[in-house]
């Protein structure tokens, strides 16, 4: 619920109304304008009557917010949020973040070699899966803690912040220490206990969209994280499941402007999982840049044919460098930069 007070309402009246609404068990978010004060009430407002509130002489307008999310809602937070990931700022017109690396961490030397190659090509952050949620229990499940330590080594070598997927609460301490951006994967987007737990973390969170999730469900998952104390959330669109079988998933390009309209949080695009085919990654990535994405996360491997996971959708470093060159041109055309 949004409540607008009359122009130049005395401060004592503002404080009185805040106390009144907090007495109903609601949290009051205040937007201070030059001449106006606007209250955003967070909580169950179903018992409140608009007419009763308007009976107060200092209230000029009452509007119910139909969207169930409040903390992510741009109405309560009109300025874009900028998320700092190890010194790399994402969102609000900052340079487009380029995250690259292998689907799965396979070894120390191999990862460091890929990290150096993608950094040379223009990457600003390194991705790599140490814990892998695979459809088949017989597929490679990741190197676990050993993989996280290899990521840490690559970070020390290149200076790039690292991104990796967290699958369970018992690994939170490990991720707090060694991972710069904690990824919540598509399969865990609605794992609410895990979302609550990462909400208590100090590290920023990359929240991937569930493969069959609506936009509102996705935003509500971000709401869980922020409501538990962590405001540093970045959305990641990685394609949704549709009837189309030509691509691995179907990229919802329209979600970029929708997320920017509805929320104040940054959004990046994963063209690798969206397409499932390395030859489609570049054109889809360029489209995402043109549509206003705040970053790209792209799978790269020096020898995709021998990759332990998702080789078909992985770019070789020289192809990634080619993507970066063209992405810079598209970014410049729309008033952005890499």
Collapsing DSSP states into helix, strand and coil, what is residue 128?
A: coil
40 and 90, same domain (yes or no): no
41 and 168, same domain (yes or no): no
Among 235, 241, 274, CA closest to 83? 235
d(CA 105, CA 127): 9
50 and 140, same domain (yes or no): no
CATH number, position 244: 3.20.20.70
154 and 205, same domain (yes or no): yes
pLDDT in tens, 162-203: 999 999 999 999 999 999 999 999 999 999 999 999 999 999
- Overall number of domains in the chain: 2
Q: Is residue 196 part of a domain?
A: yes
Cβ proximity of 54 and 6 under 8 Å: no
44 and 139, same domain (yes or no): no
> Domain range holding 32?
2-63
169 and 287, same domain (yes or no): yes
pLDDT in tens, 20-52: 999 999 889 888 777 778 888 888 786 788 889
Distances (CA, A) of 333 to 91, 94, 254, 268, 291: 18, 15, 19, 19, 11
Domain end call among 15, 31, 63: 63
CATH number, position 20: 3.30.70.1140
99 and 222, same domain (yes or no): yes
Task: Cite the DSSP H helix spans in the chain.
Answer: 11-22, 50-54, 108-121, 145-158, 172-178, 192-198, 215-227, 255-262, 271-275, 278-291, 317-333
Q: Is residue 68 part of a domain?
A: no
88 and 40, same domain (yes or no): no
173 and 32, same domain (yes or no): no
Answer yes or no: is pLDDT of 160 > 90: yes
Stretch (H or E) spanning 3: strand 2-5
Q: What is the pLDDT of residue 49?
A: 84
Q: Rounded mean pLDDT of the chain?
A: 94
d(CA 3, CA 165): 40
127 and 266, same domain (yes or no): yes
128 and 51, same domain (yes or no): no
240 and 279, same domain (yes or no): yes
d(CA 75, CA 161): 32
Instruction: Count, in order, helices (H) and strands (E) of the chain.
Output: 11, 14
């Amino acid at each position: 619920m949004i409540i607008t007070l009359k122009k130049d309402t005395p401060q004592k009246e503002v404080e009185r109304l805040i106390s009144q609404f907090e007495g109903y068990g609601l949290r009051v978010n205040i937007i201070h304008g030059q001449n106006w004060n606007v209250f955003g009430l967070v909580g169950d407002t179903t018992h409140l009557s608009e007419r009763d509130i308007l009976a107060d002489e200092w209230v000029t307008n009452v509007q119910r917010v139909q969207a169930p999310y409040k903390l992510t809602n741009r109405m309560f937070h009109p300025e874009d949020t900028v998320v700092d990931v190890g010194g790399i700022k994402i969102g609000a017109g900052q340079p487009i973040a380029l995250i690259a690396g292998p689907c799965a961490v396979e070894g120390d030397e191999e990862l460091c070699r890929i990290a150096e190659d993608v950094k040379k090509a223009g990457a600003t952050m390194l991705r790599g899966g140490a814990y892998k949620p695979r459809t088949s229990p017989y597929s490679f499940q990741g190197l676990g803690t050993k993989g996280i330590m290899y990521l840490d080594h690559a970070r020390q070598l290149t200076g790039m912040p690292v991104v990796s997927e967290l699958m369970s609460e018992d690994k939170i301490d490990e991720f707090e220490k060694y991972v710069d951006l904690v990824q919540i994967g598509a399969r865990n987007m609605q794992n609410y206990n895990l979302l609550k737990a990462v909400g208590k973390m100090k590290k920023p969170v990359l929240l991937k969209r569930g493969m069959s999730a609506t936009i509102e469900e996705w935003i509500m998952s971000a709401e869980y994280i922020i409501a538990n104390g962590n405001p540093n959330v970045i959305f990641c669109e990685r394609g949704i499941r549709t009837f189309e079988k030509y691509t691995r998933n179907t990229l919802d390009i329209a979600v970029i402007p929708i997320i920017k309209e509805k929320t104040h949080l940054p959004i990046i695009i994963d063209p690798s999982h969206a397409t499932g085919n390395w030859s489609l990654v570049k054109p889809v990535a360029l489209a995402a840049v043109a549509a206003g994405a705040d970053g790209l996360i792209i799978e790269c491997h020096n020898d995709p044919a021998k990759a332990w996971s998702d080789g078909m959708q992985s770019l070789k470093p020289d192809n990634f460098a080619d993507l970066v060159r063209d992405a810079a041109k598209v970014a410049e055309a729309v008033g952005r930069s890499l």
